A and B are shown apart, each in its own frame.
Chain A
Amino acid sequence: MSALVAVLVAPLIGALSAVALPGRSGRIAAWVAIVTTLAAAVALAASVISQGMPRLAVGSWEPPVGIVLEADGLSIAMIVMTALVMTAAALTARHMLAGDTKGPRIAFGFWPLMLLLWAALNAVFLSRDLFNLYVGIELLSLAAIGLVAIEGKPEALAAAIRYMIFALAGSLLYLAGVVLVYGAHGALDIGVLVGREPAETDGLALALMTVGLMSKTALFPFHVWLPPAHGGAPAPASAMLSALVPKASYVILLRLWFDVMPDQATDAALTLVATFGAAAVLWGSLAALVQSRVKLIVAYSTVAQIGYLFLVFPLAGGGSEDQPWAAGAWNGAVFLALSHGLAKAAMFLAVGQWMKVRGSDCLDEMEGLATAMPMTAFAFALSSITIVGLPPSGGFTAKYLVMTSAFAAGQWVWALVMACGGLLAAAYLYRPMAMVFRRADLSAFRLPSRAQQAVPLALAGAAIILGIASSGPFETLAIGRPQTAEAGL
């Protein structure tokens, strides 16, 4: 059985087992699934790098009848990042959500939901069928909403409902686009659609799908659901929600614009999308500056970071011919998605441990934590470096690539937006950082074990390594990269 199948099947079987089996054995099944999926993700990446892209026609039915799954560089980069974040979140969840601290309901429900979330993410990263992607993002949304609501507090429920409204409206708009695509071309497979005759309705279809996916990605002005939802969930869930879930709809957007319908991209549309991105960067950062709860600061930072991802659309292809690298902006955006995923998860996991010690995530309660739990503070600092985009992190590599493309393309405004965003990020992340660095005596509190504290540090370290050892991921991303990523839209 190939690794491609295993990354999909293992979390699904794990989720089903975690539902069906009682107590401990259910959790053991979940852990077996976590380890298997992690291993399968690594194996898949290795096989893609060494043997090229595996392609699987499910049920041996070729499109347009059947559905195709395919792993390219973008897929495996996302799948490996997901596997790392999921494993780390699970490692901390084991303690944070144990039955004796949070009650049997959460101890039961967390594991199947997280495994379903994982399966849905992998399914979205691999699928090449527009309708199958719809089912995938619906599974993703339902599992994510379940995780938002899991705490059961009134605010969490309200946040879940608001999230649900945006997610559902978004998936319906996406579905509307899919309906138009099928109506015009009689096909749903991306591979088939690449060679299609453009139809008059394609522009509308792309617009509908884009708006829908923007709503699911929480791009400004559809971001209002994100901070309460990510801020209200338990920390391991927040880590997955913030680091991974928006990336799924973003990857679909990349595929739609660069693979399926590059012919539909007009200058005005590209500028409009990037303008929303720029607004998200500024608005999200300013909002993060005035929050008084650390989790909300981190959540608003996600709003801002998502904005960066959308600057790629007008910049792709900017000045590629002058440069020693191809597809600078496209690669930069994917790097940003990857490093943001790792760093943001590390942040939430670190904050989660602080919260567990202090019982609150108010900024004023954070004093003394750097001394008491130096590894988590260091993890937060390293993640901040990535989020701000300072070297030597994956965030910096990304920022450098996108900014160079912007200047080379003569669209330096987007580069200035990135520069401002980085400064604002430094400002809003400085507040919690300085607070934890303050001296205070916390010897009376029970601290998590060193092994627990090491988990976010490992993730944050991975985000840094992504910057230092960026050539490997860079070459990997070139596997199956659309031509339009180099030539521009």
Chain B
Amino acid sequence: MTGLLPILILLTSLVPAAITFFLAQESYRLRNALNLGGALMKVGLIVVMLFAVAGGASYETDIALAPGLVLLLRIDALALLFVSLSASLWLLTTIYAIAYFGKKAEQSRFFGFFSLCVFATTGIALSGSLISFFMFFELLTLSTWPLVAHKQNAASLKAARSYLSYALPCSTVLLVAIVWLESSTGPILFTDPPDLSGVDPVSLRVIFALFIIGVGMKAAIVPLHGWLPAAMVAPAPVSALLHAVAVVKAGAFGVIRVVYDVFGVDRVEELGVGVPLAALASVTIIWGSLRALQQTEIKKRLAYSTISQVSYILLGAALASPFAVVGGLAHLVHQGLMKITLFFCAGIYDERAGVRSIEGLNGLGWRMPWTSTCFSLGALGMIGLPPIAGFVSKIYLGIGGLQADAAWVLWVLGASTLLNAAYFLPLLYRLWYCEAAPDVEADETAPALVAPTVAAALAALLAGLLAASEISPLGWATLIAERDYLQ
């Protein structure tokens, strides 16, 4: 029975996906019930497992493909962290998306691929072998395409095309890296760190670089970030999915897996590839923030902010000192909570007030108080204002940098915080202190849109407030780091 749990968790999104594809547009109720039901069941199953894993249990299931191609599903603490993040945010996003789409067309296709996307993300989280990780990673690429192109017009097709033209070459690079490595080590399982001693260091460095290119593209590291702002043409729930639940998170998660489970911290240090990776992450952090400053569209600004924020996770992984690891892992969750709040809000501004550009925010704070409060919480969290979640991540990363003898990290964090403030504070100023244009029609009487937003914002706040408790993201990250990576 316990071996079935990982499969059941996957099925809670695969089954709704498979059925939804064949539903007629008119069967709103069935479709909504399926998707909500799947999301709720998944959260339920994960809660069951949380307790078990906290008690030290772990689950493994393997499905035999061709010999050598091991599809291994496994639940360890890191997997659970990511899977609980994506499952709970998926639930919120589903509620939000149902309200957002209302009676719009092509919903069966949308929700079908939406569920498939979450299926792939869950698969990435649960993958216990490199090849199964790759399989779900690619499935994620493919199932995201129809979502980005959902509006089926020239702009969205262009964005979707740009997405694939980054994703497919990078996935090819990733495949080459996997094949290269596995051709000398045999299939790589995350449970059992591979013996890399047979591969010469130069090849290993090249393979590491290929891996980072392959998974880093999804984490939008510079210069492989161009697709993310372009994908802003997609509907708001898709943006939430891309930025908080699935795609960029999968990339960041992939980097963590590569550094800790494929190569291992010691080997990364020995090869001397950790510092370049940290430098790359730092460049991305600064560059993303600088570009965010220049954007006048809300969603674009948020997109560049994501590029910057996701690299915090990479920075933590690359520094590999105890505090940095914990900070990076915690930020995986924190960034997700804060960013999904911001995107939900951006969607509401667009849908309920027709506002897309920064000027449009003037005075909306008092007209849409719930939304704007949530937005403010998210933005302040991003800047790193205590006690919101972002603050905790930054503190841990900073200490981690010092632990790793990389004091320059503090400069990066400091600069980034200033920049964060520079591009978020004007928005808050406009929301609360500017006069509204008289002809703006804004109302937020859409509880199905606002409720998930408030929930996400509260979660971000609580993650920071309760950081010291064991069940907070930080608590989990500490557990993972202590149990698996820092002996």
Q: Which A residues are within 8 Å of any B CB, using their own CB?
A: 319, 322-325, 328, 331, 335, 370-371, 374, 378, 385, 388, 390-392, 396-397, 399-401, 403-408, 412, 415-416, 419, 422-423, 426, 430, 434, 437-439, 467-471, 474
Q: How far is the CA of A439 from the CA of B157 in the complex (A)?
A: 10
Q: Does B277 contact A (CB under 8 A)?
A: no
A residues in contact with B175, CB < 8 Å: 399-400, 403, 419
Give the residue of B66, B146, B172, B186 whose beta carbon is less than 8 angstroms from that of A470. Answer: B66
Q: B161 interface residue, CB < 8 Å from A?
A: yes
When chains A and B are docked, how far (Å) is the Cα of A319 from the Cα of B69? Answer: 16
User: Looking at the complex, which of B135-143, B262-270, B411-419 is the stretch in contact with chain A?
Assistant: B135-143
B134 within 8 A of A: yes
Closest residue of chain A to B160, judged by CB? A434
* Interface residue B152 (Cβ < 8 Å from any Cβ of A): yes
Nearest-CB residue, chain B, relative to A385: B142
Q: Judging by beta carbons under 8 Å apart, are B65 and A468 in contact?
A: yes
Q: Is the CB of B157 within 8 A of A434?
A: yes
- How long is the Cα–Cα vector from A335 to B66 in the complex, in angstroms? 11
* Chain B binding surface SS class: helix
B68 partner, pick from A325, A390, A412, A416, beta carbons under 8 A: A325
- Cα distance A322–B184 in the bound complex, in angstroms: 7
List the 10 closest pairs (A to B, CB-CB), nearest first. Answer: A407-B183, A391-B135, A439-B152, A325-B67, A408-B183, A470-B66, A403-B179, A474-B66, A325-B68, A471-B64
**Cβ-defined contact, B67 with A437, below 8 A:** no
Total number of A-B contacts with CB less than 8 angstroms? 102
Residues of B within 8 A of A434 (CB): 149, 157, 160-161
With CB as the reference atom, state the residue of chain B lying closest to A468. B65
Say yes or no for B176: interface residue by CB 8 A criterion.
yes
Q: Across the two chains, which residue of chain A brings its CB closest to B187?
A: A324
Bound together, the chains give a CA A331 to CA B131 distance in angstroms of: 18
Which A residue sits closest to B65, measured CB to CB? A470
| Among B149, B164, B183, B186, contact of A426 (Cβ-Cβ < 8 Å) | B164
Q: How long is the Cα–Cα vector from A407 to B152 in the complex, in angstroms? A: 41
25 A-B residue contacts at CB 8 Å? A322-B184, A325-B66, A371-B106, A374-B109, A378-B21, A388-B168, A390-B141, A390-B171, A392-B139, A397-B65, A400-B68, A400-B131, A400-B179, A401-B66, A403-B175, A403-B176, A404-B68, A408-B183, A419-B172, A423-B169, A430-B164, A434-B149, A437-B149, A439-B152, A467-B65
Instruction: Please give, as numbers and ranges, the residues of chain B lying within 8 Å of A331 by CB-CB distance.
Output: 66
Across the interface, A324 reaches (CB within 8 A) one of B68, B179, B180, namely B68
Q: Which residues of B contact A471 (CB under 8 A)?
A: 64-67
B297 at the interface (CB under 8 A from A): no
Q: Given contacts A391-B139, A422-B172, A434-B161, are A404 and B65 in contact (CB under 8 A)?
A: no
Say which residue of B152, B172, B180 sits within 8 Å of A412 (CB atoms): B180
Closest to B172 in A: A419
A439→B153 contact, CB < 8 A = yes
Which of A324, A397, A405, A468 is packed against the most chain B CB atoms within 10 Å? A324
Question: Would you give the shortest CB distance from B170 to chain A, in whole angstroms?
Answer: 10
A416 near B176 (CB under 8 angstroms)?
yes
B350 at interface by CB-CB < 8 Å: no
**Contact yes or no, A407 B164, CB < 8 A:** no
Q: Which residues of B contact A390 (CB under 8 A)?
A: 138, 141-142, 171
Assembled-state Cα–Cα distance A374/B112 (Å): 12
The residues of B that contact A378 with a CB separation of less than 8 Å are: 21
Q: Does B359 contact A (CB under 8 A)?
A: no
- Give B179-209 interface residues, CB cut-off 8 Å to A: 179-180, 182-184, 186-187
CB contacts (< 8 Å) of A335 on chain B: these are 66
Q: With A325-B66, A423-B168 as known contacts, state yes or no: A371 contacts B152, CB within 8 Å.
A: yes
For window 11-65 of B, CB contacts with A under 8 Å fall at 21, 64-65
Q: How far is the CA of A405 from the CA of B184 in the complex (A)?
A: 10
B-side contacts of A467, CB under 8 Å = 65
How many angstroms between the C-alpha atoms of A370 and B105 in the bound complex? 14
Would you call A419 and B69 a contact (CB within 8 A)?
no
Nearest-neighbour CB distance to chain B for A317, whole angstroms, equals: 13
CB of A333 to closest CB in B, whole Å:
13
Residues of chain A within 8 A (CB-CB) of B21 are 374, 378
- Distance between A43 CB and nearest chain B CB, rounded to angstroms: 25
- B184: A residues at CB distance < 8 A: 322, 407-408
Cβ-defined partner of B134 (8 Å) among A391, A397, A419:
A391
Q: For residue B141, which residue of chain A has the nearest CB?
A: A390
- Minimum CB–CB distance from A442 to chain B (whole Å) comes to 13
A401 to B183, CA, bound (A): 10
| CB of A386 to closest CB in B, whole Å | 12
CB-based contact A474/B67 at 8 Å: yes
